[in-house]
Copies of this chain bind each other. A is one copy, B any other.
């Protein structure tokens, strides 16, 4: 079957680009002797996950317990649930751990430490915990300079028989950077916050075997990983226009696209309508704050070759409107009704989440080589 026989809209995944993207990050982290813990939040797919992991047993990071359950079923043993735990989710954590999964969790408050300690006592299970450290104020985590709070959390966990496994930082600020130098500066602050907190814990007599940092920009560009033990990253495998805008990859590295059919022309031929709206590409406008605003996505032909200056400039639920960038001097391509295009996404995590499967092809080929199911929900 060829991809031009697929029902549109749907996802097309270029396996060659996927493999290259994975190899690039993996080689980089191997050279630096770091453990790589790929994040499954983007792909949510066993086949993609297996290509990202070093071993079928992991390690991996996940953003939902649904991901943890699915990858556990597929044989993964070392799973970090990298979102601060809600106490009500501890029962599901226990259930997975009782099946032999080394599921670790993240906390950043004394209140969570108390809940985890209570659960550890109840289950007589040393639930492994990483303390999240906030390096840049972007999201969660204990402020890196709130030493007393970090130590109180550690003491509470220890008293309850939970395992303090380490510290974790996430630098959302890397996504706001304008160039590689800025990314490196932010990543260095992230590293320092993590290493400082690990030192604090160790000096107080607590073990802190894992010092985990991550995000695709950090994993791609940070030069200094001194005293870091592991790196997390997820979106790198598919890559997207936001990553290309940050300089993390080139637009040509993007492995994921949305296949769409032309269904109309309007505005005296200045607009092309396709059957992929925001339901198919998501509402993510992540490049709007970057140097080049790509609208809802960059348009390629069926071979995956970029059509000059053509972007999805507007979207409703099931309609995408393609037009030339303002100021473009090229003319609109001839795309009659029924033609197919491929749309490169702003944000692969958001776009992939709108679909149920990946249609796998190789570069330059229209032949469908495989179909990989993905899962969603919580």
Contact = CB atoms under 8 A, between A and B. Distances in A.
Nearest to A86: B261
Interface in A275-306: 275, 278-280, 282-285
Contacts of A376: 356
Contacts of A57: none
A177 interface: no
Interface stretch (A180-188, A246-254, A313-321, A359-367): A313-321
Taken together, the copies of this chain in the complex come to 2
A94 interface: no
A217 to B, nearest CB: 14
Interface residues of A, number: 59
A14 to B, nearest CB: 21
Contacts of A283: 282-285, 350
Interface of A: 7-10, 41, 63-64, 83-89, 92, 108-109, 111-112, 115, 134, 137, 139-141, 172, 261-267, 273, 275, 278-280, 282-285, 316-319, 321, 336-338, 349-350, 353-356, 376-378
Given A111-B336, A140-B263, A140-B319, 7 more contacts: A83-B263, A86-B337, A89-B261, A111-B337, A137-B266, A280-B378, A355-B377
